[in-house]
Amino acid sequence: WLKNGRKTVYMGHRRFLPMNHRFRTTLKKYFDGRVELIPPTNPLLGPDILSLLKDIPHTFGKQFEENLRGGRPRKRKSRGSSRA
């Protein structure tokens, strides 16, 4: 949490800035006091993500509304009510 900016700051996320960015080495009072020298991770490609998610069960398609709402129709107010 930054004091004046009121924003949440996640420690270790400065590693995704370019190596020559000034926030990696300066402004220690705003962060945790350490210099970020760790390079960013390599971005994941589509096949890599699919291999990570291959064991997670998932059924494609939209469920029927009866399964989502318990099979009962929604109550609706009549449109013929007269208000003065």
In angstroms, the CA 9 to CA 4 distance is: 12
Chain segment 6-43, per-residue pLDDT in tens? 666 666 777 788 888 777 776 656 666 777 777 888 88
Domain residue limits, the chain: 1-42
pLDDT score at 20: 82
Chain segment 64-81, per-residue pLDDT in tens? 655 555 656 667 777 765
Chain segment 37-56, per-residue pLDDT in tens? 778 888 889 999 999 999 99
Pick from 16, 21, 23, 20: nearest CA to 38: 16
The tokens describing 53, both together, are 């998610």
pLDDT score at 18: 82
The tokens describing 55, both together, are 């064991």
pLDDT score at 45: 93
